[in-house]
């Protein structure tokens, strides 16, 4: 085989290339590197025969594949860094609000005062839901998991806002964003009130975002009713911390479903469905159930042994990206203590702290770089705010809609993006001829 250097788009002035030698042919190829990344399509030139398909990469679960270029959220998993549009999560949690961060994610900059007022006003003016939707929610069984109700209701919004499919129009896109951010808390609150057998409360757009949500959940015609500002702020910080986390399972789903250019409601319903599972947004619910099951500190060593034997996972531990402490977990842990000063302590915090202490010293967890993630402590705050356990993933889905929408917009506006369509490595049977059913008894199983 002839030795030949095949240059693919090499810039002569730059050393930023990767040289790959194909030992099947002895040929070398130079591939440009940009931001520590090569373009997978550049590998397609690597062939043995000219009519071969060309080289692909095999990456189950996309563990090392960038499917987009994004300017929204930066994570350094080794150092435990999380920034939205450049702003550290610690500063945002301390000084910002969920709606401000939602604006930041979607528009790329912190809003001016008038922009924030307009944004807040638009979102709060879209908190009412169509009566058909309220009636639809009422048809779910009293014990329906609220995430199932939420996913279905978001999808149903597609039928009520028919102009939403004209996504090429920026004004149409913008309106759906206000609607989604405004209506999600209402859908969740209506589902919750149905669950507890109470009539729903209509939104009060003069209230703040989380203030209104807590009002819709709790108000019972009390004359002296007030939403606790401490509870509203705790929920706001919780929402802010969940607003985006770059290309996780649900955000990737939003991009993939959105890439076929359907309306944002169906894409968002799919993203919420992806969030539902216990390895993703359902982990907060699973952590609480786990802490309740453990029951007391004396049971922890036995539980840890079972995790190490592979019988179950320690929920709220581990992360695909973070290989050190999840910065959101550190903030949430502190916020939990702040809230407990008002609500009284949660006995499960002692079990959680002891579980964390033992796990962080145990070689099983240390060697696998398993640290508490955002879900480890968030459930304790949600419980202190008196949310039922199966509402927890809903409290993740509402704020994450801001991130889903930011990524959806970025995807639509990115000229490099097309309909998502990964490749596969086919490992099935070679061509074989059809066998009539009468003759199949002689076929090997």
374 contacts ligand CMC (rule: CB under 6 A):
yes
- Using rule CB under 6 A, residue 378 touches ligand CMC: no
- Write down the catalytic residue from 319, 326, 390, 407: 319
SS3 372: strand
Q: How far is the CB of 27 from ligand CMC (least distance, A)?
A: 35
Stretch that binds ligand CMC, among 5-13, 27-35, 230-238, 309-317 (CB under 6 A): 309-317
Q: What is the CA radius of gyration of the chain?
A: 25
Closest CB 105 distance from ligand CMC, rounded Å: 16
Give the residue with the Cβ less far from ligand CMC, 97 or 248.
248
- Angle, CA 313 vertex, CA 310 and CA 317 arms, to 5°: 135
By CB under 6 A, is residue 404 in contact with ligand CMC? no
Stretch that binds ligand CMC, among 15-23, 118-126, 221-229, 371-379 (CB under 6 A): 371-379
Candidates 6-14, 203-211, 311-319, 347-355; binding stretch for ligand CMC (CB under 6 A): 311-319
Distances (CA, A) of 192 to 90, 187, 381, 394, 427: 31, 9, 18, 10, 47
Residue 376: burial class (beta carbons within 10 Å; 0-12, 13-18, 19+): buried
* Dist CA 20 CA 113 (whole Å): 53
Q: Which of 236, 375, 390, 407 is catalytic?
A: 375
In whole angstroms, what is the distance from residue 164 CA to residue 176 CA? Answer: 7
The binder of ligand CMC chosen from 85, 245, 333, 407 (CB under 6 A): 245
- Can residue 283 be called a binding residue for ligand CMC (CB under 6 A)? yes
d(CA 121, CA 128): 13
Stretch that binds ligand CMC, among 6-14, 33-41, 278-286, 410-418 (CB under 6 A): 278-286
- What residue number has its CB nearest to ligand CMC? 318
Residues numbered 135-194 forming contacts with ligand CMC, rule: CB under 6 A: none
DSSP string, 157-210: HHHH-GGGG-TTSHHHHHHHHHHHHHHHHHHHHHHHHHHTT-PPPPP-TTS-HH
Could you give the CA distance from residue 151 to residue 134 in angstroms, rounded to a whole number?
Answer: 14
* Cβ-based neighbour number of residue 136 at 10 Å: 18
CB 9 within 8 A of CB 42: yes
Tell me, yes or no, if 319 is annotated catalytic. yes
Sheet with 5-7: strands ordered across? 5-7, 27-32, 17-22
The reply on whether position 313 binds ligand CMC by CB under 6 A is yes
In the complex, the smallest distance separating the C-beta of residue 157 from ligand CMC, rounded to whole angstroms, is 24
**Shortest spacing between CB 287 and ligand CMC, in angstroms:** 7
Among 281, 327, 379, 403, binds ligand CMC (CB under 6 A): 281
Q: 324 exposed, middle or buried (CB, 10 Å; 0-12, 13-18, 19+)?
A: middle
Closer by beta carbon to ligand CMC, 366 or else 435: 366
Active site residue 280: yes
375 is an active site residue: yes
Count of alpha carbons within 13 angstroms of residue 134, beta-carbon side: 14
Nearest distance from residue 417's CB to ligand CMC, in Å?
A: 23
Quick check: 248 binds ligand CMC (CB under 6 A)? yes
- Binding of residue 333 to ligand CMC (CB under 6 A): no
CA distances for 32 relative to 27, 48, 172, 229, angstroms = 17, 21, 39, 54
Q: Which is nearer to ligand CMC, 258 or 318 (CB)?
A: 318
Spatial strand order in the sheet of 87-88: 73-76, 81-84, 87-88
H helix or E strand, kind and range, residue 6 = strand 5-7
Closest CB to ligand CMC among residues 18, 353? 353
Minimum CB–partner distance for residue 250 and ligand CMC (Å) = 8
Of 27-35, 148-156, 297-305, 307-315, the window that binds ligand CMC (rule: CB under 6 A) is 307-315
| Residue of 185, 203, 258, 318 interacting with ligand CMC (CB under 6 A) | 318
Measure the CA–CA gap between 192 and 159, rounded to whole angstroms: 23
Q: In this structure, is the dihedral angle defined by the CA atoms of residues 172, 267, 246 and 242, taken in order, positive or negative?
A: positive
Count of residues binding ligand CMC (CB under 6 A)?
Answer: 20
- Residues classed as catalytic: 280, 319, 375
Binding residues for ligand CMC (CB under 6 A): 245, 248, 279-281, 283, 307, 313-320, 368, 370, 373-375
């Amino acid at each position: 085989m002839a030795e030949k250097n095949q240059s693919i788009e090499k810039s002569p002035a730059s050393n930023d290339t990767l040289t790959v030698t194909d030992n099947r042919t002895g040929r070398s190829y130079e591939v440009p590197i940009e931001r520590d990344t090569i373009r997978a399509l550049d590998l397609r030139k690597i062939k043995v025969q000219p009519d071969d398909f060309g080289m692909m990469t095999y990456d189950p679960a996309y563990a090392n594949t960038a499917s987009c270029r994004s300017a929204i959220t930066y994570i350094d998993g080794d150092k435990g860094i999380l920034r939205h549009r450049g702003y550290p999560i610690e500063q945002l949690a301390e000084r910002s609000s969920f709606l401000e961060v939602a604006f930041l994610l979607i528009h790329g900059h912190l809003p001016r005062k008038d922009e924030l007022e307009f944004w807040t006003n638009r979102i709060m003016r879209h908190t009412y839901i169509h009566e058909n939707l309220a009636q639809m929610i009422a048809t779910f069984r009293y014990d329906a998991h609220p995430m199932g109700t939420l996913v279905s209701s978001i999808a149903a919004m597609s039928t009520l806002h028919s102009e939403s499919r004209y996504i090429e129009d920026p004004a149409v896109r913008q309106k759906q964003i206000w609607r989604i951010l405004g209506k999600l808390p209402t859908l969740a609150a209506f589902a919750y009130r149905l669950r507890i057998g109470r009539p729903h409360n209509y939104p009060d757009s003069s209230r703040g975002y989380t203030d209104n949500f807590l009002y819709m959940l709790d108000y019972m015609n009390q004359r002296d009713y007030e939403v606790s500002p401490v509870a509203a702020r705790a929920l706001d910080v919780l929402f802010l911390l969940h607003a985006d986390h770059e290309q996780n399972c649900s955000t990737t789903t939003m991009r993939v479903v959105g890439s076929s250019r359907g309306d944002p409601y169906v894409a968002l319903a799919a993203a919420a469905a992806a969030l539902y599972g216990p390895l993703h947004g359902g982990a907060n619910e699973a952590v609480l159930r786990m802490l309740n099951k453990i029951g007391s500190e004396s049971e922890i060593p036995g539980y840890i042994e079972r995790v190490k034997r592979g019988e179950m996972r320690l929920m709220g531990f581990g992360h695909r990206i973070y290989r050190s402490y999840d910065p959101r977990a550190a903030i949430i842990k502190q916020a939990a203590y702040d809230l407990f000063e008002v609500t009284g302590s949660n006995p499960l915090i002692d079990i959680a702290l002891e579980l964390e202490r033992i796990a962080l010293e145990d070689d099983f967890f240390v060697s696998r770089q398993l640290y508490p993630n955002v879900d480890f402590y968030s459930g304790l705050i949600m419980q202190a705010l008196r949310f039922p356990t199966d509402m927890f993933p809903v409290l993740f889905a509402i704020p994450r809609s801001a991130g889903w929408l930011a990524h959806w917009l970025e995807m639509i506006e990115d000229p490099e993006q097309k309909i998502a369509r990964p490749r596969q490595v086919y490992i099935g049977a070679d061509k074989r001829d059809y066998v009539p059913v009468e003759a199949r008894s002689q076929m090997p199983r």
